[in-house]
Amino acid sequence: MSLGNPQDEYTDVSESIRHWQNMRFAQLTVFIALTAGMFAAVYHKDFDTSELTKLLTKFAGLGVCAMFWLMDERVVEYWRSARNRAIVLETTLGYAQYSSTPRRGRLTAGNAIRAFYLVHLLSWIAAIVFPR
């Protein structure tokens, strides 16, 4: 049974890692744009919206935040899977690009993004519970 070319697979896995990194930030950009629009619809003085519409928008904001947070966690799973495969391939190829990265601590980009989504989630909950 042929295992294929590890170099070709390593190149493909590296491209996948870049893809998932870019996907994460593209999703974040869309999330920020959607959230800004919903915040404006709820709080901007120039929007003449009913209280029911504002409440529904707040619940939509809560749902959008939860959905994007879930999507981000899933993208990280795919990214981690590709990175782990790259590390396995490095043992065959004698490379160390992914296996020699510094150890992660508590202050990670992942935790920062989780905090970002948590703050947004809590802000929508506060907007629902404490309407103004």
Q: What is the pLDDT of residue 61?
A: 98
Q: What is the pLDDT of residue 1?
A: 39
Rounded Cα distance between 73 and 79, Å, is: 10
- What sections of the chain are H helices per DSSP? 6-43, 51-93, 109-129
> Over the stretch 32-56, which tens digit does the pLDDT of each residue have?
999 999 999 999 988 888 999 999 9
Q: Would residue 47 be called left, alpha or beta, if left means φ above 0 and alpha means ψ between -120 and 50 degrees?
A: beta
Dihedral sign (CA 64, 70, 76, 82): negative
Q: Which single residue is written with the structure tokens 């629902």?
A: 128
Q: What is the largest CA-CA distance in the chain?
A: 68
Q: What is the pLDDT of residue 106?
A: 84
Q: Name which of 2-6, 22-26, 44-48 the model is least confident about.
A: 2-6
pTM of the entire predicted model: 0.90
Rounded Cα distance between 124 and 49, Å, is: 17
Which residues are CB-neighbours of 73 under 8 A, at least 6 positions away?
none
Rounded Cα distance between 98 and 56, Å, is: 45
